[in-house]
Amino acid sequence: MDITNYLIGLLTGVSVTTFFIGKEWYKYYTKYTIQQKQLDRILKLNDKIKKIKHYSPTENQNYNVGV
């Protein structure tokens, strides 16, 4: 009986620990992915701005950066 209680307790402890570790990993993963998407958007916008600066002023009127 003691070994059964020990195994049940061990299994419960491992399950709870795995749940909390998984929860933290998921939080880190979502935070990292959102930051990566924001960084990609900023880099894309920066590239558009650089392209517009290289064109002559008459050509600039045809482009809209979205600002």
Summarize pLDDT for 15-61 with one digit per residue, the tens. 999 999 999 999 999 999 999 999 999 999 999 888 888 775 555 55
Instruction: Quote the pLDDT of residue 53.
Output: 82
- Which two three-digit tokens encode residue 2? 């003691």
Amino acid at 4: T
The residue ranking higher by pLDDT, 60 or 11, is 11
Cβ atoms of 15 and 26 within 8 Å: the answer is no
Cα dihedral across residues 25, 29, 31, 32: positive or negative: positive
Q: For the whole model, what pTM was predicted?
A: 0.52
Cβ atoms of 27 and 7 within 8 Å: the answer is no
For tokens 């399950």, name the residue: 15
Instruction: Quote the pLDDT of residue 31.
Output: 92
Instruction: Quote the pLDDT of residue 27.
Output: 94
